[in-house]
Amino acid sequence: MSTQVASTPHGALGLSDDDLLSMYRTVITARLLDEAALRQNRMGRAPFVVPAEGHEACQVGTAWAMRRGVDVWLPYYRDGAVVLTAGMTPYEVFLGIFAKADDPSSGGRQMPSHWGHRELGIITGSSPIATQVPHAAGIAYAVRYRGEDAVVASWFGDGATSEGDWHEGLNFAGIHRLPVIFVCENNQYAISVPQSKQMAIENVADRAPGYGFPGVVVDGNDVLACYAAMKQAHERARAGDGPTLIECKTYRFLGHTSDDDDKTYRSRDEVEQARDRDPVHVFGEYLRANGVLDDVGAEELRAAVKGEIDEALSAAWEASDPEPASAMRHVFAEPGDPEGGSR
Ligand X SMILES: Cc1ncc(C[n+]2csc(CCOP(=O)(O)OP(=O)(O)O)c2C)c(N)n1
Whether residue 265 lies in the annotated active site: yes
The residues near 115 (Cβ < 8 Å, ≥ 6 apart) are 75, 77, 79, 83, 88, 96, 105, 122, 124, 125
Catalytic residue among 118, 238, 265, 302: 265
**Under the rule (CB under 8 A), what is the footprint of a copy of itself?**
162-168, 171, 174-175, 177, 196-201, 206-207, 209-213, 242
Report the interface residues with ligand X, using CB under 6 A: 78, 127-129, 156-160, 185, 187, 189-191, 252, 256
Which residue type sits at 311?
Answer: E
Triad 143, 64, 296: Cα angle to 5°: 165
Q: How far apart are the C-alpha atoms of 126 and 140, rounded to whole Å?
A: 19
Q: Which is nearer to ligand X, 11 or 61 (CB)?
A: 61
Min separation Cβ 166 and a copy of itself, Å: 8
CA distance 98 to 203: 37
Q: What distances in angstroms separate CA 41 from CA 84, 99, 251, 257, one per listed residue? A: 20, 13, 22, 11
**How many C-beta atoms lie closer than 10 Å to residue 89's C-beta?**
15
Tell me the residue nearest to ligand X as measured from the CB: 157
- Closest contact distance (angstroms) between CB of 167 and a copy of itself is 4
Contact 214, 208 (CB under 8 A): yes
Amino acid at 338: P
Query: Minimal distance in Å, beta carbon 158 to ligand X?
Result: 4
211 binds, among another protein, Mg ion, a copy of itself, none (CB under 5 to 8 A by kind): a copy of itself
Q: Does residue 82 belong to the site contacting another protein (CB under 8 A)?
A: no
Asked whether position 187 contacts Mg ion by CB under 5 A, the answer is yes
- Closest distance of CB 122 from Mg ion, Å: 21
Binding partner of residue 78 among ligand X, Mg ion, another protein, none, CB under 5 to 8 Å per kind? Answer: ligand X
Is residue 145 near another protein by the rule CB under 8 A?
yes
> Which of 25, 78, 117, 256 is the catalytic position?
256
> Per-residue x/- mask for another protein, residues 267 to 306, rule CB under 8 A?
----------------------------------------
Rounded Cα distance, 169 and 182, in Å: 10
78 is catalytic: no
Residue 1 as a binder of another protein (CB under 8 A): the answer is no
Q: Could you tell which of a copy of itself, another protein, ligand X, none binds residue 209, using a CB distance below 5 to 8 A set by kind?
A: a copy of itself
| Contact with another protein (CB under 8 A) among 14, 67, 127, 314 | 127
Neighbours of 273 (CB within 10 A): 11
Task: Tell me the closest approach of the beta carbon of residue 208 to a copy of itself, in angstroms.
Answer: 8
Quote the least distance from Cβ 214 to another protein, whole Å. Answer: 20
Residues 92, 309: contact at Cβ < 8 Å? Answer: no
Rounded Cα gap, residues 224 and 244, in angstroms: 18
Contacts of 117 (CB under 8 A, 6+ apart): 83, 86, 87, 88, 92, 104, 105
Q: What residues are labeled active site?
A: 252, 256, 265
